Amino acid sequence: MQTLQDNISELIAHGLDRIHYPETAPGLYAPIAYTLESGGKRLRPRLLLSAFAAFCGSRPISEALPQALGLEIFHNFTLLHDDVMDNADIRRGRPTVHKRWNSNSAILSGDAMLTLATEYIADCPSEKLPTVLALFNKTAMEIYQGQQLDMEFEERDNVSVEEYMDMIRLKTSVLLGCACRMGAMLAGAAEEACEAMYSYGTDLGLAFQLRDDWLDTFGDPLEFGKEIGGDIVNGKKTWLLITALEESDGEIADILREDLEPEERIRQVVKVYRKLDIDSRCSALVKEYSRRAIDAIRGVDMDGKLRDFFIELAHESAERSH
């Protein structure tokens, strides 16, 4: 039997397939279609539609589809521009837009995606438009702030765990919070419930990102789908590395300064991680945020099946292997 989550996934897939691109300057839209057809978890539109379903009563969830698509388009726009900034070659197993086309195409088509996302977000009942749009714009601005901090952190060697948590909250979590809140707002949920959904989404986002950090070092290579240890090789400032830098009394900094082969560098860094118990402390923190997410929606009056879905999703996110 088809579940509500199956319906939601189908709605999103069909919606993305049916995006209408203008006929003028098709070269502007080919990279957008390429980006959107490349898959991904579709987590943001799924959260938005699930949050809508939790409070909408008997109204059809397709009412909130434009905003769900708008957030997915926006998310893919940020990935597209981030890939240019990081000079990344591969995204979801395929060449990035700036490799397949060029940087100029990636910049300009990304701009067009941001405007396209805004058009989808704005396609809602006019009495909801001011608050829905304000939430979207505020969230977008926070995500740029997060990306800016992330770039600045790469140039610094004294980033604190607190600063790191602030950065990932901005860069990753607020968009999940925005998805949950926007779905609830569109369904007409009370402000208190909307706020609770926002907390749920941001805590889920923190759990998600910290689990990403953990998987990159401690994941199962067969299930993770990417090479293990990429963050260590690139000296990427993750929760693991920043915590170890703070606590290892120069040991990690020394290893990073040495000119080691990738495998040897991973081996030495992981050895320090194990000594400091970074592995299980990171897992515990992921569980803590997952628990906070679940706590946030306790006592909120919503559809029982959807509540179960949100609780299950928070548990899964803390234990996922890819």
Interacting residue ranges for a copy of itself, rule: CB under 8 A? 22, 24-25, 27-28, 81, 84-85, 103-104, 107-112, 114-116, 118-119, 122, 126-127, 129-130, 133-134, 137, 140-142, 144-149, 151-152, 170
Report the residue number, 112 or 297, with the smaller CB distance to a copy of itself: 112
- Whole-angstrom CA distances from 152 to 64, 167, 248, 265 are 36, 10, 23, 24
Nearer Cβ to a copy of itself (54/84): 84
Q: Give 145 or 199: the residue with its C-beta nearer to a copy of itself.
A: 145
Q: Tell me how far apart the alpha carbons of residues 71 and 83 are, in angstroms, rounded to a whole number.
A: 18
Q: Which is nearer to a copy of itself, 122 or 276 (CB)?
A: 122
Cβ 136 to a copy of itself shortest distance, Å = 9
For a copy of itself, the closer of residues 142 and 231 by Cβ is 142
**Beta strands of the chain (E only): which ranges?**
90-91, 94-95
Distance CA 205, CA 222 (A): 24
The Cα–Cα gap between 293 and 140 comes to 22
Report, in Å, the least distance between residue 283 CB and a copy of itself.
29
Shortest Å distance, C-beta 62 to a copy of itself: 20
Please answer whether residues 282 and 214 qualify as being in contact, where contact means their C-beta atoms are separated by less than 8 angstroms: yes
The amino acid that residue 110 corresponds to is G
Q: How far is the CB of 172 from a copy of itself (least distance, A)?
A: 15
Smallest distance from the beta carbon of 179 to a copy of itself, in angstroms? 17
Cα separations in angstroms, 239 against 166, 191, 214, 217, 321: 11, 33, 8, 11, 18
